[in-house]
Amino acid sequence: MLKIRFKDGSQEPVALEAPGKTIGQGGVNDIVIDRKGVNGFHADLKVEGDSVTLTDVNTKIGTMLNGDLIEGPTLVRAGDTIAIGGVELEVFEEQVATESKTLVLSGTALLDIGTGGWSIVVDSGPEKGQVIAVKEKILIGRALECDISILEPELSRRHAELDLIGDELTLKDLGSSNGTYVNADKIAEVVLKDGDVLRFFKVRFVVSAPS
């Protein structure tokens, strides 16, 4: 989960959740900067899915991102620094463990949820050979809230989705930054078949159809 905090630690971090957060001098804002020159409603952080966009609200002193004044809506990522009126805010990512059926492909742990029907078999890393049954919709991504969590920074938080539609297994990319690949082809949405190789950055799976 992306959060934002004052670099000096003067206030508690704020989670960047949809629809977004506002920054300004007024107490009605989600993030309050009580400094001369800061507008009552100074900047807006819009959250849509995995994307966070920073916009300055036509202020005199402007809003800076990583040392540069922004000129329009600008994407914000973990590690970025926002500066307003000399106050620095840091964007960071906090991974929160949840009690769920999450499979964590961290290089050290993979929970096997059984076999039968359609399945995907891990084809890379220490978990190679592990079988993951696909009995319902499965969300794949970097976030621990996903059903299959792949702890690789190159993956989007919500990267792709496996779904059973009738007797067919489909794979859909969820607008990921670096794409989803099947048999070396970048896909948007595809019906899978036995033996297809799925790739999410360096992690690979092989599709196994019902026998």
pLDDT computed for residue 197 by the predictor: 94
Closest CA to 20 of 84, 87, 81, 73: 73
Q: Is the dihedral of CA 46, 101, 152, 6 positive or negative?
A: positive
CA distances from 47 to 83, 128, 144, 172 (A): 19, 36, 19, 22
**pTM attached to this predicted model:** 0.50
pLDDT computed for residue 125 by the predictor: 74
Residues 6+ apart with CB under 8 A from 88: 6, 7, 8, 81, 82
pLDDT computed for residue 146 by the predictor: 87
pLDDT in tens, the chain (211 residues): 789 999 988 888 999 998 999 999 988 999 999 999 999 999 999 998 889 999 999 999 999 999 999 999 999 998 999 999 999 999 998 755 443 333 455 333 344 444 458 999 888 777 788 888 888 899 999 888 888 888 888 889 999 999 999 889 999 999 998 899 999 899 999 999 999 999 998 889 999 998 7
pLDDT tens-digit profile of 72-121? 999 999 899 999 999 999 999 875 544 333 345 533 334 444 445 899 98
Count Cα neighbours of 27 within 13 Å in the Cβ-side half-sphere. Answer: 0
pLDDT computed for residue 116 by the predictor: 57
